């Protein structure tokens, strides 16, 4: 008890400092409504204060080492205590001092916590080596790629096949143990890490290629295959994957499909809703749904595989996939171009669609701020157009089967674009290494942003002609406090708006949100073009979907996962989470009625 008193005193002191810090918003939102109801010296209030202090980042930056240790152990207790009945705190992790506190959720009190019998059961069905409790491995699996979201799971399971996964889910469902499916953990919205103590189910061991048909181009494989391995496998067979992402070296096909990843070639090969021909998925109760067809055409009733594409593991875990892969064509050409203004980028896209037609395979853009970040933060990157600094850059790729024709078509297009003033400068890759270096600039932007400091990420679908207005408006709003960067898949109408700052700061965040979502909604865009909702945007869904649609989503979730154990706190807003006892009030937004 003495410890608690001491802790409370320290906590009070630290919290008083937060009053005047940039964490005012958290302070108001969390502390005031809850703390006044507590006895300040009770153990729960101490635990609450400690959780709050951890939340605002003091432990990482200001607390002394013994205090840090004390706080760390308290947090562990916190997971087991009944504190979660109060306003509890999602496991958002602060990479830099400051706050990214847009997601505050409550642990579902209906979920159990892992006990010894559970561990014995899992070891019995999987064997000890697939039941991971090692601190370091869990630390990695609990933390997302950006080091922004962090859970506190004590257990990761690594099933090797569908049967094992089915047994795990059946058991977790009967025990009300929440789970989070995890592939390569490269997501950007906190969807693939636990929020609290959910059991992590890794698909990494389910990584076999099952079959490949040379005639139809249909590849059947397990969910844990790494995208780059599939690309290399197909390359030897003379085929390519219909999707390509910067994260290909780590991301897994199951994760790609469950988030409906878009990537760099969507403009040519379409979304995964078109190229995924079949799936096998395991539901929350362990039943295996075999939809693993390989047919292009099958109109026998509802095409339920689509429910699992893009539902971020909230309806079932994908275990096998069948995917239509295009043949590898011999002529690939890549141009890196400079444009003076955004309107020229738009006109260039309009022209490219007409003049390059069926050979256009990528149309990406980046602004000068994105280019500067890459040049500054990534080793060995060179500007292919060094003679001047341009406002915008466009990367165009063509893929076709007629080598001399395709190159001539691209060259003619470029000449026309230069003559008409759309393009100010340009370079055509002369060999594979130059082509890779052009791609490296575009694909390296997320990494450069990470290296630059704290980053607020927005992945938006917007009408192409309006897209860059938003970047400029945000730039005006944040002023000199942050570097606003615009880039993305222009050919698909997908903007990656990133706001980069030395550290997270609520003053910056309040200039971006909710403005960015309101603006997107007003222009009938989507607040998530390709990254999903995850934890970051579950509560923001109404900006892009009508309340009736969201209600129907919640009903489907209830049907397939009645206990809500699959990837909780993600995708469906908490107000509609039928599994939560007390529900936070979410205002219906005026623009949610499409």
Using CB under 6 A as the criterion, which residues of the chain lie in contact with ligand 2HG when the complex forms?
188, 246, 445-446, 457, 459, 496, 498
For strands 179-182 and 199-202, give the pairing.
parallel
CB nearer to ligand 2HG: give 237 or 440. 440
Q: What are phi and psi for residue 408, nearest 5 degrees?
A: -65, -40
CB nearer to ligand 2HG: give 263 or 426. 263
In whole angstroms, the minimum distance from the beta carbon of 548 to ligand 2HG comes to: 30
SS3 string, 123-187, reads: HHHHCHHHEECCHHHHHHHHECCCCCEECCCCCEECCCCHHHHHHHHHHHHHHCCCEEEECCCCC
In whole angstroms, the minimum distance from the beta carbon of 457 to ligand 2HG comes to: 5
CB nearer to ligand 2HG: give 22 or 494. 494
CB nearer to ligand 2HG: give 7 or 266. 266
- Burial class of residue 388 in the structure, from the number of CB atoms within 10 Å of its CB (0-12 exposed, 13-18 middle, 19+ buried): exposed
| Helix intervals (H) in 225-292 | 227-237, 253-258, 266-269, 272-275
C-alpha 555/C-alpha 572 separation (Å) is 10
Element (H, E) at 346: helix 342-355
Handedness of CA 467, 470, 476, 481 (dihedral sign): negative
Calculate the alpha carbon distances from 478 to 408, 472, 475, 505, 525 in Å: 45, 10, 5, 11, 22
CB nearer to ligand 2HG: give 234 or 445. 445
C-alpha 318/C-alpha 36 separation (Å) is 45
In whole angstroms, the minimum distance from the beta carbon of 477 to ligand 2HG comes to: 19
CB nearer to ligand 2HG: give 449 or 571. 449
CB nearer to ligand 2HG: give 157 or 261. 261
In whole angstroms, the minimum distance from the beta carbon of 515 to ligand 2HG comes to: 18
Question: What letter does residue 576 receive in the DSSP assignment?
Answer: G
Side-chain-facing half-sphere of 285: CA atoms under 13 Å:
9
CB nearer to ligand 2HG: give 474 or 580. 474
Residues facing residue 461 across a β-bridge: 494, 526
C-alpha 197/C-alpha 199 separation (Å) is 6
In whole angstroms, the minimum distance from the beta carbon of 516 to ligand 2HG comes to: 13
CB nearer to ligand 2HG: give 246 or 286. 246
In whole angstroms, the minimum distance from the beta carbon of 442 to ligand 2HG comes to: 7
Indicate the Cα dihedral angle 424, 425, 429, 433, nearest 10°. -120
- Cα 209–Cα 258–Cα 540 angle in degrees, nearest 5: 165
C-alpha 439/C-alpha 16 separation (Å) is 49
- Which of 267, 275, 187, 264 shows the shortest CA–CA distance to 435? 264
In whole angstroms, the minimum distance from the beta carbon of 309 to ligand 2HG comes to: 17
- Which of 518, 522, 527 shows the shortest CA–CA distance to 497? 527
In whole angstroms, the minimum distance from the beta carbon of 461 to ligand 2HG comes to: 12
CB nearer to ligand 2HG: give 49 or 374. 374
CB nearer to ligand 2HG: give 244 or 577. 244
C-alpha 452/C-alpha 186 separation (Å) is 19
CB nearer to ligand 2HG: give 151 or 187. 187
C-alpha 200/C-alpha 114 separation (Å) is 12
In whole angstroms, the minimum distance from the beta carbon of 467 to ligand 2HG comes to: 14
Contact 189, 172 (CB under 8 A): no
In whole angstroms, the minimum distance from the beta carbon of 190 to ligand 2HG comes to: 14
In whole angstroms, the minimum distance from the beta carbon of 272 to ligand 2HG comes to: 14
In whole angstroms, the minimum distance from the beta carbon of 444 to ligand 2HG comes to: 9
In whole angstroms, the minimum distance from the beta carbon of 279 to ligand 2HG comes to: 23
CB nearer to ligand 2HG: give 179 or 448. 448
**Cα 68 → chain centroid:** 30
- Which of 31, 93, 105 shows the shortest CA–CA distance to 60? 93
């Amino acid at each position: 008890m003495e410890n608690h008193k001491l802790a409370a005193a320290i906590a009070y002191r630290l919290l008083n400092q937060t009053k005047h810090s940039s964490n005012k918003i958290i302070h108001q939102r969390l502390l005031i409504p809850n703390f006044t109801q507590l006895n300040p010296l009770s153990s729960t209030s101490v635990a609450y204060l400690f959780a709050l202090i951890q939340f605002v980042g003091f432990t990482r930056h200001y607390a002394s080492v013994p205090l840090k240790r004390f706080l760390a152990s308290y947090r562990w207790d916190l997971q087991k205590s009944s504190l979660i009945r109060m306003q509890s705190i999602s496991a958002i992790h602060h990479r830099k001092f400051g706050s990214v506190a847009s997601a505050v959720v409550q642990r579902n009190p209906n979920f159990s916590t892992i006990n010894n019998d559970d561990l014995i059961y899992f070891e019995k069905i999987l064997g000890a080596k697939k039941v991971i409790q090692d601190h370091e491995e869990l630390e990695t699996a609990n933390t997302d790629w950006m080091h922004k979201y962090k859970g506190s799971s004590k257990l990761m399971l690594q099933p090797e096949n569908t049967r094992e996964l089915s047994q795990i889910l059946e058991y977790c469902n009967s025990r009300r143990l929440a789970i989070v499916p995890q592939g390569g953990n490269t997501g950007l919205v906190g969807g693939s890490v636990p929020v609290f103590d959910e059991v992590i189910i890794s698909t990494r061991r389910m990584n076999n290629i099952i079959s490949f048909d040379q005639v139809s181009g249909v590849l059947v494989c397990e969910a844990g295959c790494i995208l780059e391995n599939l690309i290399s496998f197909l390359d030897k067979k003379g085929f390519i994957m219909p999707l390509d992402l910067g994260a290909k070296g780590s991301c897994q096909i199951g994760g790609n499909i469950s988030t409906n990843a878009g990537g760099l070639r969507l403009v040519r090969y379409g979304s995964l809703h078109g190229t995924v021909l079949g799936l096998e998925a395991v539901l929350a109760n362990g039943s295996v749904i075999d939809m693993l067809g390989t047919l292009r055409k099958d109109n026998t009733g509802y095409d339920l595989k689509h429910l699992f594409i893009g539902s971020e593991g909230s309806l079932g875990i994908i275990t096998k996939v069948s995917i239509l892969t295009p043949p590898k064509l011999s002529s690939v050409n890549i141009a890196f171009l400079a444009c003076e203004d955004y309107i020229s980028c738009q006109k260039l896209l309009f022209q490219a669609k007409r003049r390059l037609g069926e050979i256009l395979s990528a149309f990406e853009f980046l602004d000068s701020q994105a280019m500067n970040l890459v040049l500054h933060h990534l080793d060995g990157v060179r500007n292919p157009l060094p003679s001047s600094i341009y406002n915008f850059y466009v990367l165009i790729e063509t893929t076709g089967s007629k080598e001399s024709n395709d190159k001539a078509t691209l060259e003619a297009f470029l000449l026309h674009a230069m003559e008409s003033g759309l393009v100010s400068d340009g370079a055509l890759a002369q060999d594979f290494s130059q082509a890779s270096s052009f791609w490296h600039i575009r694909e390296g932007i997320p990494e450069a942003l990470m290296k630059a400091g704290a980053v607020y990420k927005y992945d938006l679908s917007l009408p192409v002609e309006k897209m860059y207005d938003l970047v400029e408006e945000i730039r005006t709003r944040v002023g000199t406090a942050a570097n606003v960067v615009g880039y993305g898949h222009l050919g698909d109408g997908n903007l990656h708006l990133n706001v980069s700052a030395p550290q997270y700061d609520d003053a910056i965040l309040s200039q971006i949100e909710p403005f960015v979502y309101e603006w997107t909604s007003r222009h009938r865009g989507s607040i998530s073009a390709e990254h999903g909702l995850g934890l970051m945007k579950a509560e923001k869904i109404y900006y892009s979907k009508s309340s009736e649609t969201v209600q129907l989503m919640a009903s489907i979730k209830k049907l397939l996962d009645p206990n809500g154990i699959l990837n909780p706190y993600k995708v469906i807003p908490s107000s509609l989470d039928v599994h939560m006892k007390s529900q936070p009030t979410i205002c219906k937004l005026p623009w949610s009625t499409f």
